[in-house]
Structure 1
Amino acid sequence: MSQAITFKNRVWENAGLLLFPDNFDEKKTYPAIISIHPIGSCKEQTSSNVYGKALAAAGFVVLAIDAAFQGESGGEPRFIEDPYERVEDIRCAVDYLVTLPYVEENRIGILGICGGGAYALNAAMTERRLKAVVSITGVNFGRLLRDGFAGGTPVESLEAVAKQRTAEARGAALFVNNMLPASVEDGKKAGIEDIDVLEATDYYKTPRGRQPNGATSVLFSRLSTGLGWDAFHLAEVLLTQPILVVVGDKPGGFGAYRDGFEIVRRAKSEKKELLAVKGQSHYDLYDKPEAVSQALEKAIPFFREHL
């Protein structure tokens, strides 16, 4: 059973999808998990239809949300990927959950996929109502941008962003970067060899994962915030909740493998674990049964223990 909802975020509403356990009884109370979608994704993709469904079947109330400026959530202009706003989305989702009589306010956890995994870890540092964190193939968006995903060196990218933002302020059309080739074949023809880019294209640009609101698009002129952000800043001081970090052991250009080892090394958490799923890649962990089942075999007992 599921229910579409909205919740307040500053001056707009965020969209969410509540997923309920079998035989849900609103007179009882349940632990809850917020599920965070990847960069350029939406709640109808892996965060709800794979991990959300599985966690609800395991007995948790799950809230899969759309990021502000993305999916069905409010916020203009569209396609902004702002890490600080992504973290604020999570705080507002917690605000919403604590108003629900069937949610136990001291048993709220969070799971995120790709960029959502790093946002979940970062949010937990300053959102103490989150009691446990699972990151599935988490990617530090700031590190990814600085490593060239924004189109150049960090300073070159910031200069390009500044130029584009000035042009848009003077009336130029918004530049929305789709981030991926139109197809795997087009990517290969363009000389792309990176496993993450090609598998992202296979996921987002085919019926496997395509959704109307999962556009893999980003507004280029608003990337300066991301270029100056680090998901793991102060993890040695503030990240104390139990964490489970799941990565595939087939590294790709998005860097989830390296980011996973880094955050487990740096986190202050006494309870922290890293699972490197053998023979699996970043996008295998989105929806491929062999990879997902291994992640959930760890994640479900982890949440049951710590929530």
Structure 2
Amino acid sequence: MSNVEHVTFKNRDMYWEIAADIYYPPNFDESKQYPAIVVAHPIGSCKEQTSGEVYSAQLAEQGFVALAFDASFQGESGGEPRFTEDPSLRVEDFRHVADYLVTLSYVDAGRIGLIGICGGGGYAINAAMTERRYKAIATITGANYGRVLRETEGSAEAVIAKLEEIAAQRTAEAQGADWQVDGGLPESTEQAKELGITDVDILGATEYYKTTRGAKPNGLNKTLRSHMGTAYGWDAFHLAEELLTQPLLVVVGDIQGGFGAYRDGYEIVRRARSTKKELTVVKGWSHYDLYDKDEPVAQAMSKLTPFFTENL
């Protein structure tokens, strides 16, 4: 069997298929059982970017079966309308991925771990609280998407105004108007600078997604405006004090930007009920450096490998 296999499997509740890439360890033997790790991509990303070609590939080299999947409505996965970013549906994806993994003879169903990157980190935290098949959880520069959206608006009044806009767009589409798909980033780093953008996270995202560094055909960083309402009212960390009990590893960079992953990292480690939990701060590196740059990724992997080896 090749080192990477492309698979699809049914989202059994919603009737479309989820697309994923499975990364196998060296000398993989299908007659044996392996611990498996699911890796969730950032918001607006796809399985061919950091979740797959960086972290899943390196985890496989360390002896794990690693699965990177495209979220429903995005990438090569099914679901309409496209570019829907609904946290409740994103969380359900993790259940369907677990459903698939436990059918594979070479996966030890009692040793499945979970990693989420950026917004995928918030989704992973939220999913793990109620999807107990995930036995150990890690986030890489994980962010609470609902909090990011609300902070971006700046006030409760501004959030309510945004929700009114979303409602109006949804009504228009129900009455026959075209979908309104919003781009999440400037079209280039040059445009970002012309617009006076100085935030390290937005600049980092633009460089990653809009240049050859990280650009992939399905990593489009787009969202469907009319289906954003749920996200504005969502909190990834709700009930973490009660329900998040699995071993937890949180990795963040110490160069802080507007997406707030550094603060979210400290918050979830403080709030999680987990008795085994660790925060690793990668000094001198930012949110998007942890996506693919050799040194910060190596530092993250130096924590991920022993964490999952011990806890799966």
**Corresponding residue number in structure 2 for 1:114:** 118
State whether residues 147 and 153 of structure 1, in contact with CA within 8 Å, keep that contact through their aligned partners in structure 2: no
CA distance in structure 1 between the partners assigned to 2:175 and 2:310 by the alignment? 54
Greater displacement, 98-107 / 6-15: 6-15
CA distance in structure 2 between the partners assigned to 1:45 and 1:143 by the alignment? 24
CA distance in structure 2 between the partners assigned to 1:294 and 1:234 by the alignment? 30
**Corresponding residue number in structure 1 for 2:196:** 191
CA distance in structure 2 between the partners assigned to 1:255 and 1:208 by the alignment? 23
Match of 1:18 among 7, 17, 22: 22
**Corresponding residue number in structure 1 for 2:209:** 204
- Report SS of the residue matched to 2:92: helix
Q: CA deviation at 1:254?
A: 0.6
Matched, 1:83 2:90: no
Q: CA deviation at 1:153?
A: 2.2
Partner AA of 2:179 in structure 1: L
Cα deviation code 1:162-197 (max 9, x no counterpart): 111111111111111111000011011111111100
**Corresponding residue number in structure 2 for 1:103:** 107
Q: What are the residue-to-residue correspondences of 1:121-160 with 2, within 5 Å?
A: 121-148=125-152, 153-160=158-165
CA distance in structure 1 between the partners assigned to 2:8 and 2:292 by the alignment? 26
CA distance in structure 2 between the partners assigned to 1:32 and 1:42 by the alignment? 20
State whether residues 8 and 20 of structure 2, in contact with CA within 8 Å, keep that contact through their aligned partners in structure 1: yes
- Report SS of the residue matched to 1:134: strand
Cα deviation code 1:98-127 (max 9, x no counterpart): 000000000000011100111111111000
State whether residues 153 and 159 of structure 2, in contact with CA within 8 Å, keep that contact through their aligned partners in structure 1: no
CA distance in structure 1 between the partners assigned to 2:309 and 2:171 by the alignment? 50
CA distance in structure 2 between the partners assigned to 1:77 and 1:215 by the alignment? 15
- C-alpha spacing 1:271/1:44, structure 2 compared with 1 (3 Å): same
**Corresponding residue number in structure 2 for 1:36:** 40
CA distance in structure 2 between the partners assigned to 1:212 and 1:48 by the alignment? 14
Partner AA of 1:290 in structure 2: E
**Corresponding residue number in structure 2 for 1:298:** 303
Cα deviation code 1:23-80 (max 9, x no counterpart): 0000000000001000000000000100000000000001100000000000000000
CA distance in structure 2 between the partners assigned to 1:286 and 1:302 by the alignment? 19
State whether residues 150 and 157 of structure 1, in contact with CA within 8 Å, keep that contact through their aligned partners in structure 2: no
Partner AA of 1:233 in structure 2: H
CA distance in structure 2 between the partners assigned to 1:12 and 1:201 by the alignment? 31
Matched, 1:46 2:38: no
**Corresponding residue number in structure 2 for 1:65:** 69
Identity of aligned residues (%): 63
CA distance in structure 1 between the partners assigned to 2:153 and 2:135 by the alignment? 32
Q: CA deviation at 1:149?
A: 5.7
CA distance in structure 1 between the partners assigned to 2:109 and 2:182 by the alignment? 39
Match of 1:228 among 219, 233, 238: 233
Runs of 4+ in 1 over 3 A off after TM superposition: 149-152
Partner AA of 1:145 in structure 2: L
CA distance in structure 2 between the partners assigned to 1:150 and 1:86 by the alignment? 25
**Corresponding residue number in structure 1 for 2:257:** 252
Q: CA deviation at 1:150?
A: 9.8
Unmatched 5+ residue regions in structure 2? none
CA distance in structure 1 between the partners assigned to 2:187 and 2:43 by the alignment? 17
Unmatched 5+ residue regions in structure 1? none
Please report the TM-score for the alignment, with normalisation by the length of structure 2. 0.97
- C-alpha spacing 1:149/1:198, structure 2 compared with 1 (3 Å): farther
Partner AA of 1:291 in structure 2: P
Please report the TM-score for the alignment, with normalisation by the length of structure 1. 0.98
Cα deviation code 1:180-234 (max 9, x no counterpart): 0000110111111111001100000001000000000000111001011100000
**Corresponding residue number in structure 2 for 1:174:** 179
